[in-house]
Structures are given as structure tokens and as C-alpha cells.
Structure 1
Amino acid sequence: MKIRHHHIFLLFLSSFLSINLYAQSNTSKGYTIKGEEVIFIFNVNDYPNIKNNGDTIDDVFVSGEFNDWAKDQWPMAKINDSIYKLKKDLSLFTSDFGWEFKFIVNSEHWAEPTSDFENSTDAKDDYGFPLMVYNLKFYSAFATEYGNVSFKLKGHKDAKKVILSGTFNRWDETGFVMKPTEDGWRVTLQLRPDIYQYKFIVDGNWIEDPQNPSKAENEYDGYNSVIDVQKNVKFQLCDFEDAETVILSAEFNNWTETDATMTKEDGCWVYSQRLSGGKYHYKFIVDGHWITDPTNTVKEYDDKGNINSVCMVK
């Protein structure tokens, strides 16, 4: 049985994160995120339909939109009689989507969460008709005091509730609740490198970020605020110690032949560049000779037939 949902929403992580992250509540279940890993967690005590049926648990699998609801592709490791876990690289999931999933016991029984879980959602079949079951929701963008981007709204001290909503959570109107501060409101997110649009919802009223001049026109004849979340990427070329000059030439610097001069560091030529999420072509110019990155096996042709190295930022 494939269990799907017609609408997908992004929210933020639950408070059972093992490293004291700020989160919404302790009623979300099923996963946590540590660094670059997603850890799926099955606790039989959270699923009365499995706990009370008396069957012996031989194995547990994770099944969801990310593996086409396969019943036996993502096996979990048994930690003890109640807990099973499975680690997956966060890069398998994008920051633009939420993912619905379920746990399957003995490759047969769907573990049914109770409806009071914060991250449960009504399931629907392939035709959009509701089913008398629930799925869990997994979100790759989340709120944490240790996140890399802080959103602040000054003033509005009399507001009862302020929400941050944007493309990072598919414009969800409930997920990222901002906390009051001395001069306004604040929430910190962990976001992957990308360009995002966002707004604040102050007691139901959508407003732009008055402190951010970067805006994009939206479909409602208004504007959304825009933030470019970047990542520091270090390019390195070794084994050319006798070279006099090495240039990093790439899409992100308009294929400069003079400006991005690399410097020597521990026998290698290095250059650091802050980049938004995406794919970038690049090459090195060693004393006037263009070469691809000898340590990067990912290469592509450009529209002129040249072969370039490829840098993926995510």
C-alpha cells in the first residue's frame, strides 16, 4: 500500500534533538538532524498499533516519498528492544521540500503514529483521496539557536504572534514562530546555501523585512524580501609548486583571467570564495595554461564545447 499526501509542507525540527537545539515542541517524532546527517528514529512505544498487536519485531524499515514508498529498501539498525535507527546523508534531501514517511515493521505492518504528533499529516492515496491513516513529515530546514541565519524584526512589541514564512518552508504560516526580544522579534534557522524569499506574518498581516532592501516582485503585485545564503568554498590545486601564477577562473567571477589570483599554502595553491547554492563551472589558469581540476572527477561541457570542472554547492 502506497501512502501519500497531496500537499507537502516544511516546518522545523522537534525538541528531541540530542544536542540541545531550539525547537518547536517535544511532540514531533521520527527523526533528528546532526550536522550533515538525518537520523530516523523508531520507538515502538510511540506506535500503539504495533506495540499492542503482540507480534515479534524482526526488522523495521523507513518508507517514504524519498524512496518511492519501498517497503524493504531502507533497513534500520536495532539499538535495543524499543529503539531502531537509520542514518542518511542530508544531501539526499533538498531544502525546498518536506518529505512524508512511515516506518514499516517486518516489511508488512505500517506503524501508525497518533494524530497529536506535531509532524503528523493526513495521508491520501495516489488519486488524492483521504485515507484513515497518518504519515510523518520530515523537514530539512529547521529552527535552532545554533543556526547560520538569524531573522530579526524590529518593533511590533504589541504583537501577539510573529511568524517567519518563505520559500525555505514553502510559505508555511505556522512553523517558524519568532521569539520576542528587547527591540522586536527573532528566530534563527539552519539553511543550506541558496537564494530565498521570505516575509513576516505579524498577527496575520504579511509584511516585508523593513531592514532588508533586497526585494523581489511576487504574484500578488507586491514584494517579498530576499536573502542570499552563501557558503565559503575553498578551491585548491596541488603539485604545481614551480608555477609563478595560478588564477581561479569560473562562472561566478565571469571567467576572469587576472583577478582571482590563488596563493600558496602548504605547497598548494588555494583560493576561497563565498557562493550561493548551485552548480558552477571552473578551471585553473597555470602560467597562462587552462586546466581542469585534476582532483575533481566531475566535469561537463559548456555551450561552446569546452570541458570544465564542476563545483556543487549545497
Structure 2
Amino acid sequence: MIGRFIHKKYSCFMRLVAVMMLLFIAVAGTAQDDIKVCTVKDGKMFIWLSKKLPPAELDAFITKFDLGHLALKRFIESGFTDSIKLAGWVVGLNNASSFTLAKPLASFDGINDPAKRITFMGLEPPMDLQFPSVSNSVVFGYNKFRNKESFAIKDSVVTFFLRNNKKAERVMLAGSFNNWDPAALSMTKTDSGWIAGVTLKPGKYWYKFIVDGKWMTDPDNSMAENDYAGNTNSVYFFTNTVFRIDGYSQAKKVFVAGSFNGWQGNKLALNKNANGWELPVYLAEGTYTYRFVVDGKWMTDPANPVQFPNEYHEMNAVITIGVPHLFTLNGFPEAKTVIVTGSFNGWRKDELYMKKTDKGWELPYVLGKGNYEYKFIVDGKWITDPANPPYGNNKEANSLLVLNPNYTFRLKGYAGAKSVYLAGDFNSWNPSSIPMRKEQDDWVFSVHLSRGKHLYKFIVDGKWIIDPDNKLWEQNEHDTGNSVIWFNE
């Protein structure tokens, strides 16, 4: 229950430092039933626990080392590992009797310096950064309720509704929109349940109800997610788009599929109504192509005149959210066709045909804030943007477009490096799309980051490294670690 488990400033490992990294074993001997270890060894934070500990002993161990965010009880009962992995731990030994968890320290350099130890362990980020409503990682979303309609919206006010619970004396609403404050938002009792209005903007939100002091997810909401602390929260999307197709009253199933969901033709079902079929969704800023699938037959949107060609010599309907960016290519008056393509449309070479002008070629195209690669295709020949060449004039690279740069990465201590690249979740971990620029003895580059958590690394002369000036990091699947930044725009 996220509202009651807002973490303390330091993680469990600060407890380890406080006891000078001593080994704690509750009962002497080697019996598997008695194992309770939480320590640091071989450069790793290490936990070894018996699965047969009495509940009181397990609770005491979890409290002593502030391990509540790992959801160890759920792991012992059902093998649930989401919270463990999200916190950067790796499961080692795991049998019927006991299990081990390990998490590497960034370094033992300065381990006797209390300030550096605090940095190793990391401060908990603010709640609003852990649950950003708009993020580059969330392209689309929709709501799926049972036994009740989706929450009513009027003038940006969303009316959250908890059905039944008529005997409850007090019901509160807490979520990412009010920093999970359990006392901030009282719900009003009605003849069918409880309601509360919240002013929101389009995006993704997490929430829970608190019924007479007991936290609970929305029993009528099929959309729920586990957070990094081992709690399950209901998810609500404030939608900004409605996919709609009129008619087809005899159809059994109608789906929408598009670039926003990888063209999965049987995932997003429209709901039948008196006029046809529709599905409200949330879409992040950008341009999207889509088609309907009516009883297995793919078709474009007959009511949408904006269409792009596809590889099957058919047309896809187009929907845009946001303000267009104008792609321009000067010159090439003799060219017959010029196409712009990039990471924003899957590098399709049959979709974005530019229009000829007096100065060259242009195409307005809606993109959200972010980091993109692109090229032009002039009569079949791929070229970078002459007005925006890749850094170092690398002919194999792509032109880079950063819309709304708001954070500058800086790498110090590598003045002698020949090349440095930046990669992270903000560019799909592409190791060659963001070449950093030399600024005296440092390497720098500005990108766009959405609010919340981001992972990144530097590639120095072909070698991947974490940021030496950022002690906040977490483990990855390669056991090499990723640097972490919590960004608040």
C-alpha cells in the first residue's frame, strides 16, 4: 500500500553501514531454518534468509534492515521477484529451505567515507518523479473497467468512483496525483458508492482507495501495476483521443491497431454502442498511423481523410497529437521524390513524402519532445541532412534531432578519448546515435528527458562505462550496471 510505505530517506543498506558491516545471524549453528544474514561481502550487499523463519522473526529482520520494499514475504510465498529486480537485486541460491540475494556496490573506493556511503545507497526520489503522468516510456494507454463505466470527465475534472462499500464510515482517495497522501482527498458517499473529483491532464495515473483505514485497489479496474516497492496499484489513463468507426452493427469484433502498439491486430478491442464502435485512449505527443480490424479484415478509417501510404500499397489513417516540426531540405530541384524517414516512424521508406517548394523540399510532421534520428531519401539515395550533419561528419551516422533539450550530460576525466557516445533509455540504448562533443577537457551533450527515472551509460572509445561522477546506479542484466538519474523538469 504505497501511501503507507513511503520509504525513509535511506535504503536498508544504510542500516548495514550503521552496524559497520557485521554479519548478523540470529541463532548460532548452521541449521537452514535459522539463517538470517544481511551483510556486505566481496563488494556486494548480501542477504541470506531461511524460508522457514517464524513470521515474527521475519518481520523483525525486515524492519531491522528496512527491507520492506523487496516484498520478501511475497517472494517466499509465491516466488514473486518483481520488487527484488526493480530494486537492483539478483536472486542467487533459491531452494525449498533458503534463498540468497545480492546487489553489487558501485565501488569500495572511499567505503570508510560516510558521505560516499550515503551516495552509494542513494536517496529515495520524490514521489511525483516515481509516478510521472507523462513519460517518454508511455506512448499509449486505455482503461478497462468491469461492472462500471469509465470515470466521468467534465472540464478536466475526473470523478473517481468506488462502487458499493455502503457500510464504510470513511473513504479516502490517494494516488500519484496527490503524492499518495492518505488524508488529502475525502470521497463523498452516494446511493451507489463513493465519489471524488480530481483535476487532471491527459496522462497515466496510479491510485488506491482507503476504506476505513484499509488500502485497496479498485476492484472494478482490470488495469493494475506493481510499483518498485512491491505494491499493486490501480492504473487510470486520462484519455485524449477516441478511435471510432460508425456502422458495422453486425460485426462480432472490432479492433484498432497501429504504430502505437506495434500493429498488434487483436489487442485493442473497441466497444459497441448505438452508432458503431469506439475506444477512448491516451496517446502521447506525436504522429501515429492506424487501421481497424473488423472481424479479421483490415481496413483504413473511412472517416479520416488524413492518410499515409504503407508497404502493401494501401493507406493507413493518421492521427496527430501536438505541434508539427517542419523538416526542410534545401536544393535538389531536379529530384523527383524526396522522403524523410527516421526513428520516429520506424525508418519507413514509403510513408513521408516531402513537398517541393521554391527553395527545396519540406514536410510538417508532428513529433513529441524527445531525441530522434533521421535521414532523407532523394530519388532512392539515402543522405544525412546537409544543414544538420552528424558530429564529426561521420557519413555512416544519421542526423540527430533533439526537440526541447533540457538536460546536459557531462563526462569528465577522459580528455584523451578519441570518441565518446551517450546511450540510455531516452534513445533506445543506441550506442552510435548520440556522439558527445568535446568542450575543453570534458565531453558534453544536451538531450531531452521526460520527468522521472532514466538509465544511461557512456561509450568511451568503444568501452561502455557508468558515469564516474554519479554514484547512483543499479544493476542490469549484463552485471555491468547502469547509471541512474531522477529528472525533474
Looking at secondary structure, tell me which structure has more strand per residue.
1
Q: Same fold (TM over 0.5)?
A: no
Looking at secondary structure, tell me which structure has more helix per residue.
2
TM-score (norm: length of structure 2): 0.30
TM-score (norm: length of structure 1): 0.44
> Greater relative contact order (Cα 8 A, min sep 6): structure 1 or 2?
1
Larger radius of gyration: 2
